Amino acid sequence: MNPMELAYRKTAVEGASGFGLLIALYDTLAGNLRRAADAQRKNDIQTRCQEINHALLVIGYLEDWIDREGGGELAQQLIAFYATMRTKLIEAQARQSAEILEQQMAKVVSIRGNWQDLELRASSTLGVPPSSGPQKYPSASESPDERSVSSWSA
């Protein structure tokens, strides 16, 4: 991550709500998986490993947010999702599969969208503006020029 992007994310997170922080973690996780898939396609094993290791760390942070006693069915679903995600990342490493990484990225982006919908509903109820718009996660099949354009904004 370049210094400009890091400064931008830091500024965005400082004013974020709980949902905004959760969405930022999902953005980070999706970005890790996209970069890991790209690295795998380039046979850049070191970068792939770094990105997957960071993704596993982010999953750990996400798991820490779960209310295991009072979270009900949603908590159980998230626990199962993160466990499956961890297993799939290890499988992607062992099989050196960019496709598995991209499948997991799609799931992360889908769940991120659900969290963003909840944030929008909560903010409209409270009259608080949402933290950010949808982020684009280009597939590895897009050209490098297409991948460098981001629609993420705060």
- Asked if 30 and 101 count as a contact pair (C-beta separation under 8 A), the reply is no
pLDDT at 127 over 90: no
Residues of the chain with pLDDT > 90, as a percent, come to: 56
Q: Does residue 144 carry a pLDDT above 50?
A: no
Residue-range domain boundaries for the chain: 3-125
Tell me, letter by letter, the H, E, C secondary structure of 34-98: HHHHHHHHCCCHHHHHHHHHHHHHHHHHHHHCCCCCCCHHHHHHHHHHHHHHHHHHHHHHHHCCH
Q: What is the pLDDT of residues 104-125, one digit of tens each?
A: 999 999 999 988 888 888 777 7
Residue 86, C-beta contacts closer than 8 angstroms, at least 6 positions apart: 56, 59
Report how far residue 23's alpha carbon sits from residue 21's, in angstroms, rounded to the nearest whole number. 5
Query: So what's the pLDDT on residue 3?
Result: 60
Percent of the chain with pLDDT over 70: 70
Who wins on pLDDT, 90 or 65? 90
For helices 18-41 and 3-14, the axis angle rounded to 10 degrees is 160
Per residue in 37-74, pLDDT tens? Answer: 999 999 999 999 999 999 999 999 999 989 999 999 99
Report if pTM > 0.85. Answer: no
Tell me yes or no: is domain 3-125 CATH 3.30.430.20.
no
pLDDT at 140 over 50: no
